Amino acid sequence: MTNDDNSAPGPATPPHTRWVLTSYRSLSPRGFLILMSLLGLVSFTAGITFLLMGAWPVFGFFGLDVLLIYIAFKLNYRDGRLHETVDLDSHQLTVTRYHPSGRTETFGFNPYWVRVSVSEAVDGRTSLSLTSHGKLFQFGSFLTDDERKEFGGVLGRALQKARMSAHA
């Protein structure tokens, strides 16, 4: 979660704030290459050992394991490209969702009427949503529970400031 505060407070320019919400990926592309290289080397070595002992089908299963792990990581990285931007000024709150496929969705709200809600389930899982005119919009599903709580507070305070600047 990053905050790009583009506000240049002046008499003619209302404050504008932008947040970019992204999911965290702990393994960098370089780390992924190292991990897959080590995994491939270990699997190849073990496979050759079994091949020399006469258990030739095991060699193929070691290769299949490495392939499946590679596919799982690639799908995980693809899902990691999902991100959302939250733009707020005194007249509009806009949430734009960028899907891994390249499709985008944009949702607009009046900052005066929208409310931020962070609800917590019995098991401790949280959800972050915006409510306006009886409709509920959930976002930030890829964030951790603590990040959703933190961002809910930050956005709530920013909405209060935007409402005050709209009245000024």
pLDDT tens digits, 111-163: 999 999 999 989 989 999 999 998 999 999 999 999 999 999 999 999 998 88
- In a shared domain, residues 12 and 74: no
Domain identity same for 132 and 99: yes
Q: What is the pTM of this model?
A: 0.73
CATH no. for residue 94? 2.30.29
Q: Are residues 139 and 156 in the same domain?
A: yes
The Cα–Cα gap between 59 and 5 comes to 55
60 and 95 belong to one structural domain:
no
pLDDT in tens, 49-75: 999 999 988 988 998 999 999 999 999
Same domain, 74 and 9: no
Q: In whole angstroms, how far apart are CA 115 and each of 61, 64, 89, 136?
A: 53, 50, 15, 10
113 close to 120: Cβ distance less than 8 angstroms: no
Rounded Cα distance, 136 and 129, in Å = 7
For residues 156 and 101, state if they share a domain.
yes
Same domain, 7 and 37: no
Query: With contact defined as beta carbons under 8 Å apart, do 4 and 22 qualify?
Result: no
Task: Kindly state whether residues 136 and 57 are assigned to the same domain.
Answer: no
Q: Tell whether 149 and 95 lie within a shared domain.
A: yes
Q: How many domains does the chain have?
A: 2
CA–CA separation, 83 and 96 (whole Å): 8
Range of the domain at 33: 29-79
Q: Are residues 53 and 97 in the same domain?
A: no
pLDDT 10s digits, 68-125? 999 999 998 888 889 999 999 888 999 999 999 999 999 999 999 999 999 998 998 9
* pLDDT tens digits along 1-47: 655 555 444 444 456 899 999 988 888 889 999 999 999 999 999 99
